[in-house]
A and B are shown apart, each in its own frame.
Chain A
Amino acid sequence: MSKPKVAFYWCASCGGCEEAVVDLGPDILKVVEAVDIVFWPVALDFKRSDVESMLDGELTVSFINGAVRSSEQHEMVELLRRKSGLVVAFGSCAHTGGIPGLANLFDRKAMFDEAYFNVPSVVNDEKTVPQEEYEAPEGTLTLPNLWNTVKTLDQVIPVDYYLPGCPPPVNLIAEAVSKILKGELPPRGAVLAPDIALCDECPRKETKPEKMSQKQFKRPHEIMIDPEQCLLAQGLLCLGPITRKGCGAACTTANMPCTGCMGPISNVIDYGMKALSAVASLADSNDEEEIEKILSKIVDPVGTFYRYSLPASLLHRYYQPAAQGGKQS
């Protein structure tokens, strides 16, 4: 029997997830030994037609990273879904929307206006914006349609497993690959990471006070961060208590608060609301005005609590009372 076939694909992402695969280091040779990588646009020269010519289900597993926000990405993930036995949402963007998901605070028009007209460094007197179709002498040229709304992978195609993280930690990737090869997978729909909050593996765990409250929230550039003490106790917005562990507490070890890329543990529906709830209740005051003042230090609640998960949230996107009835995707 031939080796299992594996595909990697990227949608709306930064390329960091591809980097994470390479970060397997020498271990990647073991992967290459065990499987055939038959599609990986970032590293290998295969074309879409190569995937199209495969049988349905021929690919053992497709690792797809990035959120889905254009017609091209939609077509590609549909194609890979058809050709794959397993689809793994790889990384925060595919799992919960990720950083590109914050585009759901705006709509397509606002983004085009900003990128093509308003940015100070842009000179665009002719008001040129990309067109989806253009009649050239050689024929019609087309570009994919950029959606108004960024979606997670599982809002577009069925997903079998999730590998969280921005990017997913190398050890979790290696573990997932070996589980797939051995066929020792958990029930479908599982997140392939431990289901415990980050605090559990944080080296600062012991310094967490019994009762926590804050008169003043701080941002990392405003203080000298104590390298030993619990970051939340120092007034920093560390989202460790709400976030899944598995990253080896990479950020808190490097003296930075957790921003929540590993996503929620399994009993949380809406990551950002749980984070907001946890952080807001720390405000050390019972007076309405003072509470307002303490919490005003959290300048960007959406970007702070939904940094990686706005498309997966219950609200999903900015609500536009004025634009009702418009095309949403």
Chain B
Amino acid sequence: MSDNDRKQFEPRIIAFFCNWCTYTAADLAGTARMAYSPNVRVIRIMCSGRLDPQFILKAFREGADGVLIGGCHPGDCHYQEGNYKALRRFTLLKRFLNMMGIEKERIRLEWIAASEGDKVQKVINEMTEQVRKLGPLKLEPASQLQPQNDRVSRVEPVTIAEGEAS
């Protein structure tokens, strides 16, 4: 990729923010008119502990260049320990993604409390720049992996009535 391409590349980042802290913080950043880079698409989840790692792979599969996860600070989880579960999964997931050749800068977990609108701004801007430097994530084209079950060339099965089989 030339420098020129890289300048034009706008990363797509999917952010999973928990309802009680980080999403509220993003809201605060908005009402306080703190500008942050528009590359992030926020998905609100009730708790960072609800974040199934399948969602993260799905985001990458469907074209995300990075995934940001935001939850309450340790000890502050609305559901007592959801964010700890998120941390455990994230720890192993990070190692897994590394083994699969996906750069560690493409995934980030941050604890952002409801009052930390400025942290939302800072984290999003930082991550956008990091991912911009890495360039787009181009997994193998999804068209190659679609189950072929909808293909029309299939022959109708020969139905065998009972009794005929013997």
Contact = CB atoms under 8 A, between A and B. Distances in A.
Interface string B79-108: 001001101110111011001111100000
A212 interface: no
A276 B92 contact: yes
Nearest to A311: B145
Given A159-B148, A286-B84, A316-B145, A281 B89 contact: yes
A315 B139 contact: yes
Contact of A317 (B135, B140, B149): B140
Contact of B57 (A149, A292, A315): A315
A158 B149 contact: yes
B160 interface: yes
Nearest to B155: A57
Contacts of B166: 33-34
A157 B53 CA distance: 29
Interface in B100-140: 100-103, 134-135, 137-140
A53 interface: no
B56 to A, nearest CB: 8
Interface of A: 1, 3-4, 33-35, 56-57, 60-61, 81-86, 105, 149, 151, 154-160, 181-183, 188-189, 268-270, 272-274, 276-277, 279-283, 286, 288, 291-292, 295, 298, 300-302, 305, 313-321, 324, 328-329
14 contacts: A1-B164, A4-B160, A57-B156, A83-B155, A154-B149, A155-B145, A158-B154, A183-B160, A270-B54, A277-B89, A279-B92, A281-B85, A295-B92, A319-B100
Interface of B: 52-54, 56-58, 60-61, 74, 81, 84-85, 87-89, 91-93, 95-96, 99-103, 134-135, 137-141, 144-151, 153-162, 164-166
